[in-house]
């Protein structure tokens, strides 16, 4: 298994991070993409991955805080990405739920991340909360494909198809297993097998059997079981497909 989106650097894991990683490996997780949301966390992700060959860092500015970033911050982000250690840009995108940054600053920051992804030949990890339509309209207005993934996808089949047409892969997280997520499960069932990924987004959004607990990569097994049921497939087949797709998108070595 590959956890395509994890925040292992969060303080939630400070007391037992090594045990969390051990449980992940024992459960069958072979690689984890450790996602940054600002300069400090991007650097923390990089430092953490220097100690573990199965961890891979990303660097970017979450839309919630992008309005507070100055030109020096952007130059430092570009410097980090130019170092060649990171496997993706982001997470970036739009968040109209918390609205901690203006919509205008979020869109401008998102476009800068897309340019950085193209400049450094890296996929972009996209966060989209309560902003699917403006997100898709912005991407469609650019008239060029995007190499990347819609992380923690939360839309329906129509939204998914528009993402796919833009070149994006689709990543499913814990909400896939939630009882009311019927449209999300329908999208998962219809998703092309070569464009799907799974993630924990830990420490957030644990799968249904673990609701109320801190999420961690070892819980990937529960999520994959849900995907297998939704797609009328086997656990092994969903494991194989999502692993192959994440290996390819993030250009991971075996």
- What CATH number did the domain enclosing 158 receive? 3.20.20.140
Rounded CA-CA distance 96/29 in Å is: 32
Give me 126's structure tokens. Answer: 């996209």
Domain that holds residue 210: 2-249
Rounded CA-CA distance 95/63 in Å is: 6
Rounded CA-CA distance 18/192 in Å is: 35
Domain membership of residue 229 (yes or no) is yes
The segments of the chain whose pLDDT lies below 50 read none
- Sequence-distant (6+) residues with CB within 8 A of 8 are 17, 20, 21, 32, 34, 45, 48, 55, 202, 217
Domain count, the chain: 1
Domain membership of residue 254 (yes or no) is no
Rounded CA-CA distance 169/55 in Å is: 21
First-to-final CA distance of the chain: 12
Contact 2, 242 (CB under 8 A): yes
Residue 254 has a pLDDT of 62
Residue 109's alpha-carbon distances to 65, 95, 141, in angstroms, are 10, 12, 16
Element (H, E) at 2: strand 2-6
DSSP secondary structure letter of residue 153:
-
What is the Cβ-side half-sphere exposure of residue 239, based on CA atoms within 13 angstroms? 13
Rounded CA-CA distance 201/90 in Å is: 13
Domain membership of residue 193 (yes or no) is yes
Return the number of other C-beta atoms located less than 10 Å from residue 71's C-beta.
7
φ, ψ for residue 5, nearest 5 deg: -165, 105
């Amino acid at each position: 298994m590959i956890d395509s989106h994890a925040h292992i650097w969060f303080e939630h894991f400070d007391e037992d991070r090594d045990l969390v990683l051990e449980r992940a490996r024992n459960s069958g997780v072979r690689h984890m993409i450790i996602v940054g949301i600002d300069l400090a966390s991007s650097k923390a992700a990089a430092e953490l991955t220097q100690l573990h060959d199965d961890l891979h860092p990303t660097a970017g500015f979450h839309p919630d805080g992008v309005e507070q970033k100055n030109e020096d911050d952007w130059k430092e982000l570009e410097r980090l990405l130019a170092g060649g250690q990171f496997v993706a840009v982001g997470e970036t995108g739009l968040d109209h739920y918390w609205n901690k940054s203006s919509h205008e600053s979020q869109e401008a920051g998102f476009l800068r991340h897309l340019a950085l992804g193209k400049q450094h030949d890296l996929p972009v990890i996209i966060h989209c909360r309560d902003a699917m339509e403006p997100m898709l309209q912005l991407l469609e207005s650019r008239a060029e494909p995007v190499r990347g993934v819609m992380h923690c996808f939360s839309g329906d089949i129509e939204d998914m198809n528009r993402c796919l047409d833009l070149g994006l892969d689709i990543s499913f997280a814990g909400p896939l297993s939630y009882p009311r997520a019927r449209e999300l499960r329908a999208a998962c069932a219809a998703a092309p097998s070569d464009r799907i990924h799974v993630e924990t987004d830990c420490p957030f959004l644990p799968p249904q059997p673990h609701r109320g607990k801190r999420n961690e990569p070892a819980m990937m097994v529960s999520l994959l079981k849900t995907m297998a049921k939704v797609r009328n497939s086997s656990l092994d087949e969903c494991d194989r497909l999502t692993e192959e797709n994440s290996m390819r998108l993030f250009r991971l070595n075996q």
